[in-house]
Structures are given as C-alpha cells and as structure tokens.
C-alpha cells in the first residue's frame, strides 16, 4: 500500500509544479532511495498522459569518475545527458543521497573541470526553461543522510519536509497558490527599487537591482519553495557579508563564509572550514566571483536550519545570494559554471534598506508595503 | 533558487570482490573495451553494486561509461495504466544513443521474476513489439561489428528463489559459473574459448548427430552447418557450442527432463516426435495446452532452430534461468523456432524456445555412427584448433 503522503507529493509535483500534459516527455531523476516517490510519480505521469522516463543514479559512480577519471573522461557528456537536456518537456529531480559528504575527499580542481563541462547542459536547460520549452522542478525526498545533517530522526525529518511543502494540509495546491499571490505582489513592489542594502552582524552589503525582474517562486521550480529572487546588476555589489549558515555544495560543506565585494566582484574570501574548496570554486571562471542571484526566503513553514540548501534558502527571515550563473528570466547576465546559493540569517538584529528606506527588520518585511 | 541536482554517491557496504572481478572480466575479456569507447550499462536498481563496478572498470579502461538504471516496478505501472500510444512510445534520444554506443552490458537482476504474471499479454506484446525496433537496430550494429554486447546476471533473492537456493548459495553458484571466484577468470575463459573453438571445428565435419537417452532417440542433420563457440563474449557465464540443424531432416523422439520455460511459464516433461524435420506429435505432463499453442504460433515453430551442447561444468543444476540452464555441463538443448543465420540456419519463426535435455546419467550421442559423447562428456578432446577467430562472429 503506497504511503498517502507519497501520493499527495506526486500529485502536487505532476499536477501543480510541472503541469504534465498529454505527450510530454517527463524525466524522473533520483536514486533508488526515493523509489516509493518515483513510482508514485511514474503512475501519476502515466495517468496525466505523459511519457515518464526514470533516471536512477548509481551510488558511487560520481566519486569513481572524479577520483579516477582522466580530464577527457571528466569532461565527457554522454549521449543520454545531451539527449535528455534537449528533448525533455518536464524534469522532476529528486535529491535523495545516501551520504551528503561523499565527495569531500575529491580534488576541488577536478570537480571544477566536471562542473565546467556540465555547465553547457545546465545553460541549455535554463534557456529552454526561460523559453517555455521545459518545466522542471527540483525537490528532495527525506533520507537518513539529510535527517542526520538536520540533526533529526528520519520520522521527524519527514514531518519537516512534508510540512515545508504544505503536504500536511488538506489542499496543498491552494496554499501554494495563496503564497504565490503574496510573493507576486512582493516581486512587483521590489521591481520598483534600484538598490538594496543588507545590514546585520558581520554584514553590510549593497546590491544594485535597477531594471532587473523579481521572480516569485511558488513551488513550480523548487519544491518546497517560497522565495523571490532577481539577478543583481553585475558590477554593483559593494561591501561585506557573512553567511551564518554552513554552505553545502557538491558533496561537501563549507562553514562561516565571509566575502568582501568591490565593483561587483569578490576581492576577499574566508571560511573557517573548507576555505580551499571555496577558493577553488571562486576561481572556476570569471563569473564565479560575481553574484548571479539575490533572494528573500519567504516560507514560514520552514522554521529551522537543516543544512540542506533547498530548504535553508526558503527559510522565512533569511536572504540568500548565489555566486555564479544568473537566471536569464531575472535580467541577470552573469555567466559561470558555478551557481552556489549561500544563506544569510536575518532573524536576529538586522535591517534591509531599499533605496535608503528601511523596509525589512529582524526577518520580516514591514507591514503594508505590498 | 536551486538550479540543479548534484548527484553525490558513495558505495553501500563492503563490496564482494567477485563483483568487481565480474565487471573486469566482461569489460576486458568479453567486450574488450578500448580507450575512448562509449559504453552503457543497462540494469535495474537491484544491480547497482555491479553497475558501479562496471562503471569503475570502464573508467580504468579509459572508456566513456554511463549507466542506465531502471526502477523495479515501473514496467508493471506502464502496462497497467498507460494508453497504447504511451506503451509504444520510445524517447527520441534512445535512437541517438544506439548509434553512438560502442558497447552495452545488460545486467539481468529482478526483484520478482513473476511481477508481470497478471499484466494483459496483448499490452505486453505491444510493448515488446515497439521495443523490438530499437533492439533490431542494436543487433544490426552488433552483426556489422560496430558494437559489442554482453549480458550477465547479478544475484538477487528472486533469482535464488527460482533456483530453490539461499541468496548466499546462489551467489556462489553464479560467481563460480563465471569463474570469478578465482583471480584468473580471464585466463580461464581464454582456455575455455580455445577448447570450445576446437570442439566447434571438430563438430563442423559431422553430418548427422544421433541423440540417445531415456525415451529419446533423435537424429539431427547438421551437414554443412557451422558450429559456434559461445565463449563468454555475448553472455557471462557462457560455455556451449551450437548450430542450427538442417530444417527438414530431424527424425525421431525426444523427452525433455527439465521443465521448459517460455515467458515465465513452465511446461513439464515435454515429449516430441519429429518427422521430416517437423514436430508431428507433442505432449507434456503439465502445460500441454500452452505447448500446443506455442507450436501453432507459425510454421517454423515446429522445426528445430538450434542444437547445442552445454559445456559449463561449474553449472551443475537447473535454476530456472536460461542464461545458466542452457549451459549446464552434460546437457544438450534443442530449440524450437528461429535459427541462427550465422550458423547457416534458415528457419524463421516468432518462437525461439530452448528446451534442455539432461544427458548426464544415461545419454549417448553418436556422430555419423561413432559414439562421441557418453554420460555428459565428450569422449575425446578435439585436436587443438588454431587461435580463435573472433572476426567470424562479429563480422
């Protein structure tokens, strides 16, 4: 008997997030750990008239390639990867790892070669999404590895994940639509602003957003969701920022990242753990030193830090910014093989100024702005 | 917004060294994977440990590997819920892949070998017919020497259950059949290969085989046909020599002691009588109706398409899996239905049903009147043949 939460999860992803239609080629990408959700999705996609194709990763293959492959092998793109990027109408990617630190021992320079080669496919995916040819959602299936990062039991972590997606409610889709309307008003209001300044302990950062588009995220590309984001003006970022949450990326963890920006570019970078990896990522290409995204986390059902970016960046009362590639639909033009979201907690004493005026204090927008 | 899924992996548990040896054997010996070749591993999720070892082995060989893992249970969902159009759909990139690939390894590894028992056979047939187009293109490229393929099995509880064994005993059985319980598996298979090629060459001079056993006295003409040594290039394990008999010449009776399995259904104690090459009488103790239905499939279904000697003596028991059963040392199998053109056979049929005849106790085989096989063994070693000519199989 299928777990009813998996059925509901699948229903929201297929009917609401990706709106699968008859004839769509739908990729369901995960590991065997998410098998119950993958099967529920498969059935739902078939019932919606789509053509589901399952892509199950092999645990350990990425490590084998990164540890032992030559440069040509690292950079090689299989016909499957290329074909999937070109042909899919819908992609549902489900994170489900046995070990979220499995690549800690890998040479970061080799990870950079791997990431640079794959960035072509990622760019194609982003272009096709921006052009309306592709709908894709990234989500996560609760696993022991993620529960461990969150310092929770698997049962508690499952509750956390399903609550964050409003899947514990009778009508999750209605709740997402309601949040979506609020975020759309916020995005429209932010669209009238030229410059934001974020001030909190260890942080005083100015970000130009003049002429850029803010995108409300209501569960269609990430699930769970709940943020508004834009692509900052590439040369505008000035000041310093401290990311209070540990930053996981590509199978490892970096702690206490501090960055200083001048003319839009990182000129100084520190971390208490993983600093070498941070520097290697910043050196990946020119765009890796600039912000490609600036965003407000607006999901109040995510109340605690769990060490998983998909959730942490949605946490109500945070902002996040990504080093690297900008999303074309935001008007951002930064190009990079990197896109690394870093989350800054503003729930303590903090302020955000928009064009010189205080609009956000201690994790919340001031009332009646939008 | 998070933009992509970074798949991080690591290996579950401790690897049985035999799994890595099996992967190395197939990569180096069966497929002879070369640097720069594009290699795909097809499997279900239960075979992940072997798929990972294939991937590692191919990386070591300098090839470009990728895995194509399905999830157990999705085919049932498709066959149960999908429209005909959905069942027959093939994603466009699959056609592109089949042109680019230099080698494929297929790992059979089911979690329930009877999972499709209750699906509508017509819908299943639709699915198989649609997939066949892709398979045909694969086999064209293999026949043209443009691609290599090898099929193997990763032990699961389901396969062990069919064999009536524990998983641990079944693992021992599978890995010893592949000879990967030793560290010199490739050397073993090279020796097997030269011995099988010598046997095939010797059998090539034979005009008629007469198979004698309990309730069995069958004459099969093999004059002018080529015997093929199955030496681990296409299947692992392997170990048989086979040809396709002269279509109108089979005469006499045969009784199959092992159950014959077709698409998961077992037919027990089959007895056949041949006249002028065709089955004229057939009966079975169980599954008689099914046997007769299959014989009616088409004209070629009553004619032998294959005769073969099973010569893998590590495979010493019937396990309800044709990959192993047809190679049981001391058995012969004679398949009804389609023949092998590379052996000189011309019989055409939708059927190819391998039926295995146990000759280990009382069996005798005569070649042009001379006793060549007794109690499951050839009586004489063939003269050593020249080095095996792989090209004849792949040309």
Residue B10 has pLDDT above 60, yes or no: no
Residue B14 has pLDDT above 70, yes or no: no
Q: Is the dihedral of CA A34, B63, A83, A282 positive or negative?
A: positive
- A54–B71: do the CB atoms touch at under 8 Å? yes
Residue A95: which of B5, B12, B59 has the nearest Cβ?
A: B5
Question: Which residues is A273 bridged to in the sheet?
Answer: A255
Residue B394 has pLDDT above 60, yes or no: no
Residue B168 has pLDDT above 80, yes or no: yes
- B8–A46: do the CB atoms touch at under 8 Å? no
What is the C-alpha to C-alpha distance for residues A223 and A140, in angstroms, rounded to an integer?
A: 8
Q: Is A258 exposed, middle or buried (0-12, 13-18, 19+ CB in 10 A)?
A: middle
- B93–A82: do the CB atoms touch at under 8 Å? yes
* Contacts A73 to B, Cβ<8 Å: 59, 62, 64
* Contacts B27 to A, Cβ<8 Å: none
Nearest to A52 by CA among A36, A38, A34: A38
What is the C-alpha to C-alpha distance for residues A275 and B272, in angstroms, rounded to an integer?
A: 76
Chosen from B1, B34, B69 to mutate, greatest number of chain A CBs within 10 A: B1
* Contacts B74 to A, Cβ<8 Å: 38-39, 42, 52, 54
* Contacts A31 to B, Cβ<8 Å: 7, 9
What is the C-alpha to C-alpha distance for residues B41 and B68, in angstroms, rounded to an integer?
A: 6
Classify residue A230 by its DSSP letter. Answer: E
Residue B133 has pLDDT above 70, yes or no: yes
> Which stretch of DSSP H or E encloses residue A351?
strand A350-354
pLDDT digits (tens, 9 = 90+) for B318-374: 999 999 999 999 999 999 999 999 999 999 998 999 999 999 998 999 999 999 999
Classify residue B31 by its DSSP letter. Answer: S
pLDDT digits (tens, 9 = 90+) for B270-281: 999 999 999 999
Classify residue B14 by its DSSP letter. Answer: P
Nearest to B259 by CA among B251, B268, B248: B268
The whole model's pTM is what? 0.90
Residue length, chain A? Answer: 370
Residue B166 has pLDDT above 50, yes or no: yes
- Residue B106 tokens read as 């297929």
Residue B9: which of A42, A60, A309 has the nearest Cβ?
A: A60
Nearest to A94 by CA among A38, A139, A144: A139
Half-sphere exposure of A296 (CA within 13 A, CB side): 26
Residue A47: which of B45, B81, B97 has the nearest Cβ?
A: B81
What is the C-alpha to C-alpha distance for residues A135 and A131, in angstroms, rounded to an integer?
A: 10
Q: Which regions in chain A score pLDDT beneath 50?
A: none
What pLDDT score was predicted for residue A252? 85
Q: Which residue has the higher pLDDT, B304 or B5?
A: B304
What pLDDT score was predicted for residue B3? 59
* Contacts B52 to A, Cβ<8 Å: 58-61, 64
What pLDDT score was predicted for residue B383? 65
What is the C-alpha to C-alpha distance for residues A254 and A256, in angstroms, rounded to an integer?
A: 7
- A138–B3: do the CB atoms touch at under 8 Å? yes
% pLDDT > 90, chain B = 85
> Which stretch of DSSP H or E encloses residue B366?
strand B364-367
> Which stretch of DSSP H or E encloses residue A75?
helix A71-75
For residue B11, what pLDDT band results from cuts at 50, 70 and 90?
very low
Nearest to B84 by CA among B134, B132, B122, B135: B122
- A325–B48: do the CB atoms touch at under 8 Å? no
* Contacts A94 to B, Cβ<8 Å: 5
Q: What is the mean pLDDT of chain B?
A: 92
What pLDDT score was predicted for residue B384? 57
What is the C-alpha to C-alpha distance for residues B173 and B178, in angstroms, rounded to an integer?
A: 9
Query: Min CA distance, B11 vs chain A (Å)?
Result: 5
What is the C-alpha to C-alpha distance for residues B195 and B159, in angstroms, rounded to an integer?
A: 30
Query: Min CA distance, A315 vs chain B (Å)?
Result: 12
Residue B393 has pLDDT above 60, yes or no: no
What pLDDT score was predicted for residue B9? 39
Nearest CA in chain A to B92: A87
- B97–A83: do the CB atoms touch at under 8 Å? yes
Residue length, chain B? Answer: 395
- A61–B67: do the CB atoms touch at under 8 Å? yes
What is the C-alpha to C-alpha distance for residues A197 and B201, in angstroms, rounded to an integer?
A: 84
What is the C-alpha to C-alpha distance for residues B334 and B344, in angstroms, rounded to an integer?
A: 16
What pLDDT score was predicted for residue B382? 79
- A46–B51: do the CB atoms touch at under 8 Å? no
Residue B385 has pLDDT above 80, yes or no: no
- Reduced to 3 states (helix: H, G, I; strand: E, B; else coil), residue A218 is coil
Query: Min CA distance, B359 vs chain A (Å)?
Result: 43
Residue B387 has pLDDT above 80, yes or no: no
Chosen from B9, B44, B54, B76 to mutate, greatest number of chain A CBs within 10 A: B9
- How many Cβ atoms sit within 10 Å of the Cβ of residue A62? 23
- B101–A79: do the CB atoms touch at under 8 Å? yes
* Contacts A57 to B, Cβ<8 Å: 7, 9, 67, 69
- How many Cβ atoms sit within 10 Å of the Cβ of residue B361? 11
CA torsion B264-B265-B269-B274 (nearest 10°) is: -90
Classify residue B190 by its DSSP letter. Answer: H
How far apart, in Å, are the Cα atoms of B352 and each of A327, B106, B335, B338?
55, 20, 6, 5
Q: Is the dihedral of CA B372, B375, B376, B379 positive or negative?
A: negative
* Contacts A215 to B, Cβ<8 Å: 1
Contact A160, A299 (CB under 8 A): no
Nearest to A231 by CA among A310, A311, A322, A298: A322
Contact B279, B256 (CB under 8 A): no
Q: Is the dihedral of CA B378, B384, B385, B388 positive or negative?
A: positive
Nearest to B152 by CA among B10, B14, B43, B308: B43
What pLDDT score was predicted for residue B275? 98
What pLDDT score was predicted for residue A59? 87
What is the C-alpha to C-alpha distance for residues B349 and B300, in angstroms, rounded to an integer?
A: 5
Interface predicted TM-score of the whole assembly (ipTM), two decimals: 0.89
């Amino acid at each position: 008997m299928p777990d009813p939460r998996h059925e509901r999860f699948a229903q929201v992803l297929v009917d609401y997030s990706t709106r699968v239609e008859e004839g769509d080629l739908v990729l369901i990408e995960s590991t065997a750990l998410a098998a119950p959700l993958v099967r529920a999705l498969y059935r739902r996609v078939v019932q919606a008239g789509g053509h589901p194709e399952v892509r199950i990763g092999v645990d350990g293959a990425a490590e084998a390639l990164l540890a032992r492959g030559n440069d040509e092998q690292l950079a090689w793109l299989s016909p499957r990867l290329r074909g999937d990027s070109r042909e899919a109408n819908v992609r549902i990617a489900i994170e489900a790892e046995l070990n979220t630190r499995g690549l800690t021992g890998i040479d970061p320079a080799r990870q950079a070669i791997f990431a640079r080669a794959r960035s072509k496919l990622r760019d194609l995916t982003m272009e096709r999404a921006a052009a309306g040819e592709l709908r894709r959602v990234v989500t996560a299936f609760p696993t022991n590895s993620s529960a461990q990062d969150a310092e929770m039991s698997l049962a508690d972590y499952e509750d956390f994940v399903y609550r964050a997606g409003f899947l514990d409610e009778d009508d999750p889709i209605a709740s997402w639509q309601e949040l979506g309307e609020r975020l759309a008003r916020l995005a429209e209001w932010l669209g009238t602003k030229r410059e934001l300044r974020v001030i909190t302990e260890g942080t005083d950062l100015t970000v130009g957003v003049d002429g850029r588009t803010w995108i409300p995220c209501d569960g269609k590309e990430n699930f769970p969701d709940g943020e508004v984001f834009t692509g900052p003006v590439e040369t505008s970022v000035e000041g310093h920022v401290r990311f209070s949450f540990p930053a996981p990326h590509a199978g490892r963890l970096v702690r206490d990242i501090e960055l200083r920006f001048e003319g839009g570019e990182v000129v100084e970078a520190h971390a208490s753990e993983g600093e070498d990896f941070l520097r290697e990522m910043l050196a990946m290409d020119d765009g890796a030193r600039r912000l490609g995204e600036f965003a407000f986390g607006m999901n109040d059902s995510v109340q605690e830090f769990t060490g998983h970016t998909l959730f942490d960046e949605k946490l109500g009362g945070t902002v996040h910014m990504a080093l690297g590639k900008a999303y074309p639909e935001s008007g951002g033009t930064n190009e990079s093989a990197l896109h690394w979201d870093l989350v800054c907690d503003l729930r303590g004493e903090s302020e955000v100024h928009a064009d010189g005026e205080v609009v956000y204090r201690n994790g919340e927008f001031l009332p009646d702005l939008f | 917004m998070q933009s992509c899924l970074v798949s991080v992996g690591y290996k579950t548990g401790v690897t049985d060294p035999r799994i890595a040896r099996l992967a190395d054997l197939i990569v180096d010996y069966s497929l002879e994977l070369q640097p720069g070749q594009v290699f795909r591993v097809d499997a279900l999720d239960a075979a992940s440990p072997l798929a990972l070892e294939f991937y590692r082995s191919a990386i070591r060989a300098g090839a470009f590997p990728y895995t194509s893992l399905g999830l157990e249970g999705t085919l049932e969902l498709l066959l149960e819920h999908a429209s005909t159009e959905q069942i027959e759909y093939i994603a466009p990139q699959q056609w592109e892949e089949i042109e680019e690939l230099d080698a494929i390894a297929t790992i059979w590894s089911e979690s329930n070998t009877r999972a499709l028992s209750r699906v509508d056979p017509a819908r299943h047939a639709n699915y198989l017919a649609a997939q066949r187009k892709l398979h045909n293109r694969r086999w064209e490229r293999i026949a043209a020497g443009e691609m290599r393929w090898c099929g193997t099995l990763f032990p699961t509880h389901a396969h062990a259950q069919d064999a009536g064994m524990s998983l641990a005993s079944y693992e021992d059985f599978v890995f010893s059949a592949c000879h990967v319980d030793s560290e010199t598996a490739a050397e073993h298979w090279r020796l097997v290969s030269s011995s099988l090629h010598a046997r095939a060459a010797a059998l090539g001079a034979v005009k008629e085989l007469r198979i004698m056993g309990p309730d069995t006295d069958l004459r099969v003409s093999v004059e002018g046909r080529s015997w093929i040594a199955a030496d681990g290039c296409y299947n692992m394990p392997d170990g048989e020599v086979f040809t396709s008999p002269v279509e109108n010449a089979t005469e006499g009776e045969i009784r199959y002691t092992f159950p014959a399995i077709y698409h998961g259904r077992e037919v027990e104690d089959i007895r056949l009588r041949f006249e002028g090459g065709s089955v004229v009488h057939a009966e079975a103790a169980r599954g008689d109706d099914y046997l007769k239905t299959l014989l009616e499939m088409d004209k070629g279904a009553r004619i032998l398409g294959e005769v073969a000697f099973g010569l893998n003596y590590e495979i010493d028991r019937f396990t309800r899996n044709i990959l192993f059963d047809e190679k049981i040392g001391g058995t012969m199998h004679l398949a009804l239905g389609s023949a092998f053109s590379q052996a000189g056979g011309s019989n055409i049929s939708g059927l190819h049903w391998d039926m295995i005849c146990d000759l280990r106790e009382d069996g005798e085989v005569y070649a042009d009147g001379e006793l060549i096989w007794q109690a499951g063994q050839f009586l004489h070693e063939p003269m050593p043949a020249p080095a095996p000519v792989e090209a004849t199989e792949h040309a």
